[in-house]
């Protein structure tokens, strides 16, 4: 990083998880806590073998933070399903906003949101 007064570099993020603003509701904090617990325990045992960028746990952390436990949880589940053998690979960011036709009672529609972000 340069120290020039007109430097436009972003500050380095200290952690690997998303650090943007989000509503700190109990469901979001619970979901993010579960993902963080996974990152600190199980993830270190199985190694880093995710085919996407960001990794599936980072994706899940951000999805829950941005979209809540229900929507973010479904996005995360479908992302993990796409990560297996024969699945997709590459850059797959969390959508900043979910499309309007999604309804909480039709979680299978979240599959299309992730597939659109992956292509």
Partnered with residue 90 across adjacent β-strands are: 52
pLDDT digits (tens, 9 = 90+) for 37-72: 999 999 888 877 788 888 899 999 999 999 999 999
Give the pLDDT mean for 7-35.
80
Contact (CB, 8 A) for 89 and 61: no
- Say how many C-beta atoms besides its own lie within 10 A of residue 51's C-beta: 15
* Distance of alpha carbon 85 from alpha carbon 88, whole angstroms: 9
pTM of full prediction above 0.85 = no
Q: How confident is the model at residue 17 (pLDDT cuts 50, 70, 90)?
A: confident
Q: How many CA atoms lie within 13 A of 19 on its CB side?
A: 7
pLDDT of residue 118: 46
pLDDT digits (tens, 9 = 90+) for 80-116: 988 878 888 888 899 998 888 888 888 888 888 866 5
- Among 65, 58, 46, which Cα is nearest to 91's? 58
* Distance of alpha carbon 107 from alpha carbon 93, whole angstroms: 19
pLDDT of residue 119: 47
pLDDT of residue 35: 94
Q: How confident is the model at residue 13 (pLDDT cuts 50, 70, 90)?
A: low
pLDDT of residue 89: 87
* Distance of alpha carbon 80 from alpha carbon 4, whole angstroms: 42
- More reliable by pLDDT, 4 or 63: 63
């Amino acid at each position: 990083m340069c120290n020039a007064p007109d430097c436009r570099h972003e500050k380095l993020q200290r952690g690997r998880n998303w650090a943007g603003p989000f509503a700190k509701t109990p469901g979001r904090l619970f979901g993010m806590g579960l993902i963080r617990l996974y990152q600190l325990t199980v993830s270190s045992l199985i190694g880093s073998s995710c085919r996407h960028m960001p990794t599936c746990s980072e994706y899940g952390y951000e999805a829950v933070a941005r979209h809540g436990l229900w929507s973010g949880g479904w996005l995360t589940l479908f992302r993990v399903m796409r990560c297996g053998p024969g699945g997709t690979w590459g850059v797959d960011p969390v959508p900043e906003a979910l499309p309007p036709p999604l309804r909480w009672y039709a979680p299978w529609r979240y599959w299309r949101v992730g597939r659109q972000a992956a292509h």
